[in-house]
């Protein structure tokens, strides 16, 4: 019987595939290989089990760079599925390189392409202690209980990211982890959101997560209040702050988006605007939950301050932007998106949040955010899940969901009163194409005004 994709696609296996592909390169040809592997269990719940199964997926992206004449680089890439069966994968990579070898000479010069470098290889292996595959539905549904309306997704198993190049570099990141992203519902369809994730499943911790969500759910049984349009003092829980921080990845913190006029942070660079001195944002890989290497094999700094006390300290700069704009790169991914965002904490104690809020809104989650005026820095989105109207520091009633439309220069600027001392790590549970790794580390945030429009 064949071994499954993990451990079949081991570091040695990847290195062997890479070396064989690199050994077959012609003169003036260079190669990058980027590996993605996962053996994932997914159980989707809607009261009971809606869908359940496993997905074994592996692929490698091969990028061929041709130096067609001195200093003139042309490049193309091809991603192919891998089987973990050596002779098949070697042949598939050989075929992919062959196709690229035919295609690349006919392409225009890419003035921002990079040749492979070897600044040093890395290996990160994180093993986990996950629930036995067969016991997942029972463990989760028994802990939640028969009378609780639950929906959610359990995702678990090993995820591998690898990278090699023809300069001899090889990076390997292997992590075994799980996430249970869930919500609990009242009979009136009001919900509390929770996420329990990590590398070590612990029944007690999981039951505490559910118990905490159930406590909150009771508050949602109260008669909801409809709030009119206007500006309200608002306390945003870490999950809501995390949703706002995600927008920095969407054409804001990248050097190319600043240079190309779409980012609202160009106003910070020009000095026309500032964010609050209480707001600092960094890329922080120190917790090791995200690979530090990018598609080219460059290693990002373990910690890079992006916004320092309201001022733009660094943007995320890929090697392409570095070449195009003549600035130093910081090993950002090509899309210059955040990979390990961390917002600096403030001084507000957890127990003081509602008291400091006084009267206003307590928002647990935000939903479906988008720029309503990107270059102007305005974001729209909805409140979602357990959001409450607060009077004199006390929870009065859940609110009906509301649309907000406000500027980052208000929310992270003039209206930012305080951030909480405690930060939460919110694991990334996204699974488009493949299971995401990492997450965002954020505190809660108190703002003196947030504009609600519908």
Partner 1 sequence: MDENLKAALRQAERVLGNKPEWLGFRKVREVSTTRYVRDGHPQANHSSVSEGVMVEVLENGQFGYAATTRTDFESLVMAAQKARSHALQGSRYPIHRFTVAQRPAVQGAFESDFGKSIPSAGELNELLVEICRKLDRPGPSTPPSTSKEPRPKIIRRSALFETIDTEAQFVSSNGSDARQNTRQVVGWFQATAQAGDVVQKRSDERCGQGGWERFNTPDLWNRVERVAEEALELTQAEDCPSEKLDLILMPDQMMLQIHESIGHPLELDRILGDERNYAGWSFVKKEDFGSFVYGSPFMNVTFDPGVAGELASYAFDDNGTVSTREYLIKNGILVRALGGGESQARSGLPGVANSRACSWNRPPIDRMANLNLEPGTDSLADIIASVDRGVLMKTNRSWSIDDFRNKFQFGCEYAKLIENGKLTRTLKNANYRGITAPFWRSLKKVGDPSTVEIFGATNCGKGEPNQSIRVGHSSPVCLFENVEVFGGAS
Q: Which of residues 143-172 bind partner 1 (CB under 8 A)?
A: 151-153, 155
For the CB of residue 430, give the shortest distance to partner 1 in the complex, in Å.
Answer: 6
Q: Which of 222, 309, 403, 421 binds partner 1 (CB under 8 A)?
A: 403
**Angle at the Cα of 344 (from 340 to 347), degrees rounded to 5?**
150
> Exactly one of 23, 70, 108, 351 binds partner 1 (CB under 8 A); which one?
108
- Per rule CB under 8 A, is residue 86 in the interface with partner 1? no
433 closest CA partner among 4, 119, 61: 61
- Whether the Cβ atoms of residue 444 and residue 243 lie closer than 8 Å to each other: no
CB contact set of 191 (below 8 Å; sequence gap of 6+): 183, 184, 185, 217, 220, 385, 386
Asked whether 354 and 394 are in contact (CB, 8 A), the reply is yes
Complex with partner 1: residue 193 or 314, whichever CB lies closer = 193
40 to 69: interface string for partner 1, x by CB under 8 A: x-xxx-xxxxxxxxxxxxxx-x--------
Judged by CB under 8 A, the residue of 10, 186, 199, 380 near partner 1 is 380
Rounded distance, CA 303 to CA 53, Å? 38
For residues 78 and 233, which CB has a smaller minimum distance to partner 1 in the complex? Answer: 78
Query: Which part of the chain contacts partner 1 (CB under 8 A), choosing from 27-35, 163-171, 255-263, 415-423?
Result: 255-263
d(CA 90, CA 84): 10
List binders of partner 1 among 327-366 (CB under 8 A).
Answer: none
Minimum distance of partner 1 from residue 352's CB (angstroms):
30
Smallest gap from residue 55 Cβ to partner 1 (A):
4
Binding of partner 1 by 197 (CB under 8 A):
no
Give the Cα separation of 25 and 31 in Å (integer): 8
Q: How far is the CB of 330 from partner 1 (least distance, A)?
A: 20
The smaller minimum CB distance to partner 1, of residues 262 and 424, is found at 262
Q: Phi-psi region for residue 173, left (φ > 0), alpha (ψ -120 to 50) or beta? A: beta
245 vs 1: CA distance, rounded Å: 46
Residue partners of 51: CB distance under 8 A and separation at least 6: 42, 43, 44
**Footprint of partner 1 on 258-317 (CB under 8 A):** 260-262
- What would the two tokens of residue 95 be? 């075929």
377 binds partner 1 (CB under 8 A): yes
CB of 144 to partner 1, least distance (A): 11
């Amino acid at each position: 019987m064949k071994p499954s994709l993990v451990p079949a696609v081991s570091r040695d296996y990847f290195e062997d595939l890479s070396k064989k592909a690199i050994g077959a390169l012609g003169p003036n040809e260079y190669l990058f290989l980027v590996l993605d592997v996962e053996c994932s269990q997914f159980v989707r719940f809607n009261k009971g089990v809606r869908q359940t199964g496993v997905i074994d997926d592996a692929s490698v992206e091969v990028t061929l760079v041709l130096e067609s004449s001195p200093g003139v680089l042309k490049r193309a890439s091809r991603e192919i599925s891998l089987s973990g069966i050596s002779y098949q994968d070697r042949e598939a990579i050989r075929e992919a390189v062959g196709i690229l070898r035919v295609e690349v000479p006919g392409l225009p010069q890419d003035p921002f392409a990079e040749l492979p470098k070897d600044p040093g290889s890395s290996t990160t292996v994180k093993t986990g202690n996950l629930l036995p595959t067969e016991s997942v539905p029972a463990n989760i549904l028994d802990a939640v209980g028969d009378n609780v309306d639950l929906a959610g997704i359990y995702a678990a198993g090993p995820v591998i990211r690898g990278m090699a190049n023809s300069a001899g570099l090889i990076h390997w990141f292997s992590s075994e982890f799980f996430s249970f992203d869930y919500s609990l519902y009242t009979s009136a369809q009001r919900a509390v959101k929770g996420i329990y994730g990590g590398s070590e499943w612990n029944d007690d911790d999981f039951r505490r997560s559910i118990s905490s969500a159930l406590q909150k759910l009771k508050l949602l049984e109260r008669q909801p209040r409809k709030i009119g349009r206007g500006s309200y003092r608002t306390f945003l829980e870490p999950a809501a702050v995390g949703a706002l921080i995600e927008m920095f990845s969407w054409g804001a913190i990248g050097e190319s988006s600043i240079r190309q006029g779409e980012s609202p942070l160009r106003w910070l660079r020009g000095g026309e605007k500032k964010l609050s001195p209480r707001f600092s944002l960094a890329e922080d890989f120190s917790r090791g939950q995200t690979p530090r290497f990018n598609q080219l094999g460059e290693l990002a700094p373990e910690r890079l301050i992006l916004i320092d006390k309201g001022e733009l300290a660094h943007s995320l700069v890929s090697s392409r932007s570095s070449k195009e704009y003549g600035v130093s790169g910081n090993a950002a991914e090509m899309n210059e998106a955040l990979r390990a965002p961390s917002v600096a904490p403030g001084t507000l104690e957890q127990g003081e949040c509602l008291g400091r809020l006084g009267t206003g809104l307590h928002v647990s989650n935000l939903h479906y955010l988008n720029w309503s005026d990107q270059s102007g820095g305005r974001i729209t989105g909805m409140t979602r899940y357990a959001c409450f109207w607060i009077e004199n520091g006390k929870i009065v009633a859940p609110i009906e969901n509301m649309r907000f439309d406000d500027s980052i220069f208000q929310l992270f600027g003039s209206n930012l009163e305080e951030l909480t001392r405690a930060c939460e790590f919110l694991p990334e549970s996204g699974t488009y194409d493949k299971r995401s790794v990492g997450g965002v580390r954020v505190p809660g945030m108190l703002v003196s005004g947030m504009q609600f429009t519908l």
